[in-house]
Structure 1
Amino acid sequence: DELRDVLKRAGGVTNYAYVPGAVFTRIELKEQQEKRLQEMQRRLAEDIAKAQLVEKDASRRSGDIGKAQELLTQLQQTPALGRLVVDLRKVLAEDPDYSIPLQNGDALTIPSRKNSVTIIGEVQLPISQVFEPKLDYTDYIERSGGTTDKADEDRIYIIKANGGVQLPDSGHWFASNDAQMEPGDTVVVPLDADKLDQLVLWRDLSQIFYQIALGAAAVGSL
């Protein structure tokens, strides 16, 4: 069976469903994700240990090492979800070029409509805000007090409600019209990894952590 077939048998979605925020999970992906998380935990622990050994100015770098240790704790406490990014709108529209064959253990969760945008990372006040169509990602950042002095403003990205990641282009908006802010999206302002010296894994690890944690939160809030 394909996902569209199962949805048909279920009678489709209700008027209260927020289709862009659908969460599709797969056991096979969860197992892969668990292994990836374990490897990242190991590598980050090694990086922290190396940084502590070579750091001469402990007072100057203790905050950076503390941030990495905090991330390591978060990674250890974050369960793998096994989320597969799907465009449920294409499935419902029966797009012939968009097919999702099902496997045993697959699960689809469709939340009710969201009316918020979340800002996390290196901003003064990480918080969820009411979605407003006229605002872009920079407006939401400003409403969170702006970025901190350790923010990597060149690598800001958006985690869409369906779990996909999209990057702002060189202009004020995104590279494509369908990449504008929508309810349920999350603006991520990453830490500038170049300022962490020995802890070069931070950027990649934090991006993956945010995606996993947000996916788990999406399921847990239903």
Structure 2
Amino acid sequence: IRAPGLYPMLENTPLADALAAAGGVTALGNMAAPDLAREVPNPALTGQVTRVSLGGGAGAGAKLVSPRQSLRIPRREDALDTGPVLLLGEFRNPGGYELRRGERLSEVIARAGGLTPEAFPYGAVFTRESVRQRQQEGFARTARDLESSLVQLAAGQALPGARGGTSDVGGAMKAGRELAATLREARAAGRVVVEANPVILLARPDLDMLVEPGDVIAMPKRPQDVTVVGAVQNPGSLPFRQGWRAAEYIEASGGAQRFADTSRAFVVLPNGEAAPAGQGFFQGGGPPLVPGSLVMLPQDPAPFETWGYVRDMTQILGQLTISSAALAVIAREARRSP
């Protein structure tokens, strides 16, 4: 139904008129199996309903409906996995496409005319609503855990895994409040790491992702920079340099701040995967970076040692950074797409 909701209805209104008031049935609606429920008129059975058979086919529209009834038009079985997907950026014909049941990423890309010569499939951002919801719930859950720890800390209770002694409780409280607020305000992207290169998908069909209604695929242009964020003197984007590692990009950004935690620096690759920058990367460790990479240098985690939260900090920062980067790509490609 195009505009589902509550509608005033007279006794014995033709079903066709009731549906017209709600905007009609969409192309995916199954008029062969309309579902009508009415309340049982026995006061002792308040809240119970009974199903009414409307039959199907052309005669269904002539059936009569009345107030206090509920009408549901199910989807056709062949349309259960169909719906819109959105392609943004460097596709030859970007835009919205109606998904076919069982369609895979390579097929959707082919329907959009393939990729432009400037496309960078290694940096494709593929987002899914169900994943976004789980990530958003994870942010909220972590914020609640932090706030619970703050309450215990304020009450002078020992926390599991906490270090005793000289920990800065005041610093821990402040850092915990700031991180909890950041998590509550953060927008999850729902990014899924996928292979989006049609040539690779042709050779490796096992990597060809099934697409779901509501998925968004943003295909960026080939980047020419590497971004450095976090506890550096001058965060921002730098021109890509062949063979440079994370340490060299950090130095080119003015170097690490005094309270940076260089041992937990990590890199977000263009495809959304996160990896440590490399053990001892300031001595030349870690692999050379590719264009479009993002280097994150976290703050010193000492405040969080008060409650033993250090082991989770890199994962939390990684999730926030990946979501932020993915949303930035989607927003940029949405502005560029017609």
What band does the TM-score fall into relative to the shorter chain?
0.7 to 0.9
Aligned partner of 1:149 among 238, 247, 258 = 258
> Which residue does 1:88 correspond to in 2?
196
The structure showing larger relative contact order (alpha-carbon pairs under 8 Å, at least 6 residues apart) is: 1
> Which residue does 2:123 correspond to in 1?
21
- What is the identity percentage for the equivalent residue pairs of Structure 1 and Structure 2? 26
Counterparts of 1:70 and 1:221, CA distance in 2: 28
Counterparts of 1:130 and 1:143, CA distance in 2: 10
Q: Give, as a single letter, the amino acid of the residue that structure 2 aligns with 1:8.
A: A
Counterparts of 1:110 and 1:18, CA distance in 2: 7
Counterparts of 2:108 and 2:273, CA distance in 1: 23
Q: Which runs of 5+ in 2 are unaligned?
A: 1-102, 158-167, 334-338
Q: Does the C-alpha gap of structure 1 residues 50 and 203 become closer, same or farther in structure 2, counting only changes over 3 Å? A: farther
Counterparts of 1:6 and 1:155, CA distance in 2: 39
> Which residue does 1:202 correspond to in 2?
313
Matches within 5 A, 1:23-172: 23-54=125-156, 62-89=170-197, 91-93=198-200, 94-96=202-204, 97-170=206-279, 172=284
Q: Give, as a single letter, the amino acid of the residue that structure 1 aligns with 2:140.
A: Q
| Structure number having the greater helix percentage | 1
Q: Answer whether contact 2:264 2:314 (CA < 8 A) is retained.
A: no
Cα offsets for 1:167-222 (capped at 9, x unmatched): 34447354xxxx63122110111234345322515333222211222222221222
Moved more, 135-144 or 208-217: 208-217
Aligned partner of 2:296 among 171, 184, 188 = 188
Q: Does the C-alpha gap of structure 1 residues 141 and 17 become closer, same or farther in structure 2, counting only changes over 3 Å? A: same
> Which residue does 2:332 correspond to in 1?
221
Aligned partner of 1:11 among 113, 117, 142 = 113
Aligned-residue offset at 1:150: 2.7
Counterparts of 2:203 and 2:278, CA distance in 1: 28
Counterparts of 2:299 and 2:235, CA distance in 1: 13
Q: Give, as a single letter, the amino acid of the residue that structure 2 aligns with 1:12.
A: G
Q: Does the C-alpha gap of structure 1 residues 114 and 122 become closer, same or farther in structure 2, counting only changes over 3 Å? A: same
Aligned-residue offset at 1:103: 1.6
TM score, norm. by length of structure 1: 0.84
Moved over 6 A (4+): none
Counterparts of 2:243 and 2:110, CA distance in 1: 35
Moved more, 28-37 or 143-152: 143-152
Counterparts of 1:131 and 1:74, CA distance in 2: 30
Secondary structure at the aligned position of 2:144 is classed as: helix
Secondary structure at the aligned position of 2:211 is classed as: coil
Higher CA-based Rg: 2
Q: Answer whether contact 2:218 2:329 (CA < 8 A) is retained.
A: no
Aligned pair count reads 215
Q: Does the C-alpha gap of structure 1 residues 68 and 221 become closer, same or farther in structure 2, counting only changes over 3 Å? A: farther
Q: Does the C-alpha gap of structure 1 residues 40 and 185 become closer, same or farther in structure 2, counting only changes over 3 Å? A: same
Counterparts of 2:256 and 2:124, CA distance in 1: 30
| Structure number having the greater strand percentage | 2
Q: Answer whether contact 1:33 1:80 (CA < 8 A) is retained.
A: yes
Over the aligned positions, Cα root-mean-square deviation in angstroms equals 2.6
